[in-house]
Chains A and B, each alone.
Chain A
């Protein structure tokens, strides 16, 4: 078993990493909002689901791909991928902002406490999932393949595949941009200020509603990118994947320490790799069990997650 594992180590690791980066981006959707509002935006999972459909619609309907089409190459390929990525991010970002406006803002103004927005969030999730379920006839929807999943080369024994590489590289670029935004810009500083102390931030003249909208927008953009990467890797979606991936990403956020960008990063990577290794060793049926046992063990010793304490110090 160990020998087999070592044989497959790098290919499992690549698969786990690209899955991990998808988790990271969705986890950021939860974590950004939690950092600022101390609220779990459960609707984020459905924002992700809607983003996957945005990508599918771009590839299938805008660029007219079918399952028997020739793969795109060169400039056209990058145009398609770029359009789909931007479209998914924009759709998810705008949807996130709208959800905040419709479902949370008034509750927040009326100081409703924690429970009312929680139910409101679950309600929004259900509305989105049901709407998509009705539109898709409860069926899974496949994305035609626009890009050939070619092998770029070998890393030790593992094949390095184009789609996994694109996901990892593009996700790292997005994360660097996000960190620069939060740490280096005025808006980022405002987000951090609201995260640390909303009342003080308000007294300093920071527009809290504006900051909250920006936070939802940024979280939505990241979640939207995850939707695009998910379709690039798995080429399908359904009304129910929000729930499945959402739970995983939420777990990743908790594992790393919610409300904390670094936490989302390490939590997502850890979860992606753990799931993949555990499935290999114990069988796929034990994946969820293993993950949650490890989560409980981590929380046992670090109740706020791996990086839970850093939240109020420097990052949103």
Chain B
């Protein structure tokens, strides 16, 4: 019953579209009609993430359609997976078999991506995810090889890149770094340290500590840091503990550099400690708020989309722009799109180089650097 009414709605919509085309100016009739899709949570508890990413994609498409009036009309099909692998496995076959769709921005979540991949691989649908960060999707050493090859790509970098980048940012401008690294015993924190370790030059590491995220008193760790005479302290964990730790460390008289990863990058972070304590804290993250790239861009986004941009807006726009640039090169099929994406070379919104390696990971994509200045987290550009 439900299905039939859906079909009739679709038919009505198709009729309406046809009649619209009929009255459109003659020049538009020659425009090439291209379909892309978005997959992510559009309803349910995680809907905010998906809706924000979709808005990013629609923004990029809107600009493209306006710029290429008469040449191309790109439309976006929405696939709602609720961020849930089970739901993703239900919507993916439909998207995969709709051959009009030649590119998919998504899926937003790693679990949903993995559940959808068999269908997209079978029908060779190129994917670019703005936010699926699980390492195994593109890691050839994971059991069964990289899951996503050849269709999966992502413009967001993983902790494999974040580890070394965080170290690089933390030690930037320090002539003889003595780095002390503290993790929070979580899978995220320990993993980040593991990815960081191989990139630490000999003699620059003076100690590691692993501290439960339930810790309230950090004096033992602080004593170790002082004994080790560290001048750079990196914390791989989340912002609530980071604020407490950094506060106690500064209060103990430590004057060196403080740094953390994307777990610390939260607007709440700066509300948890006095501004003077957090001044100069260096942070890395794969994402960057649109407003931090340019306030003009954010204002335009707000005007066109009717709401402020959310998390991963920049990444969604980057992902969409890759497809759009291929479209403007004349790509109309999935196979051509896949080749075009694989050979893509361009710039991201932040100005970093953007291209993919053989496994679909962003090759030139850099981690973004941030610094706390006067109680605000300020974007300082890609970590180079």
Contact = CB atoms under 8 A, between A and B. Distances in A.
Given A279-B221, A280-B223, A236 B214 contact: no
B222 to A, nearest CB: 8
Interface in A267-316: 275-280, 283-285, 287
B244 A234 contact: yes
A96 to B, nearest CB: 23
Interface residues of B, number: 35
Given A142-B272, A276-B217, A284-B221, A149 B251 contact: yes
Interface stretch (A8-16, A24-32, A107-115, A180-188): A8-16
Interface in B195-243: 209-212, 214-221, 223-224, 226-227, 240, 243
Nearest to B375: A68
A287 B375 contact: no
Contacts of A235: 244, 247, 273
A103 B221 CA distance: 41
Given A149-B251, A161-B251, A285-B185, A280 B212 contact: no
A285 B211 contact: yes
B337 interface: no
A130 interface: no
Most buried by B among A16, A142, A277, A287: A142
Interface residues of A, number: 36
Given A161-B251, A284-B211, A142 B271 contact: yes
Contacts of B273: 67, 142, 235
A285 B210 contact: yes
Given A236-B244, A284-B212, A276 B219 contact: yes
A142 B243 CA distance: 9
A235 B244 CA distance: 8
Interface string A152-167: 0000000101000000
A142 B247 CA distance: 11
Given A8-B226, A11-B223, A67 B375 contact: yes
A38 interface: no
Interface string B256-277: 0000000000001011111101
B223 to A, nearest CB: 4
A244 interface: yes
Contacts of B251: 149, 161
Contact of A284 (B215, B227, B277, B374): B215
B243 A236 contact: yes
Interface of B: 185, 209-212, 214-221, 223-224, 226-227, 240, 243-244, 247-248, 251-253, 268, 270-275, 277, 374-375
Nearest 8 A/B pairs, CB to CB: A279-B220, A15-B219, A142-B272, A8-B223, A280-B220, A284-B211, A4-B227, A140-B240
Given A12-B223, A67-B271, A234-B248, 20 more contacts: A11-B219, A12-B220, A15-B217, A67-B274, A68-B274, A68-B375, A139-B240, A142-B271, A145-B274, A145-B277, A149-B251, A234-B244, A236-B244, A238-B240, A275-B217, A276-B217, A279-B219, A280-B220, A280-B223, A285-B212
26 contacts: A7-B227, A8-B223, A12-B219, A12-B223, A15-B217, A67-B271, A67-B272, A67-B274, A67-B275, A67-B375, A68-B375, A139-B268, A142-B273, A151-B253, A159-B252, A234-B217, A234-B248, A235-B244, A235-B273, A236-B240, A236-B243, A238-B240, A241-B216, A245-B216, A283-B210, A284-B212
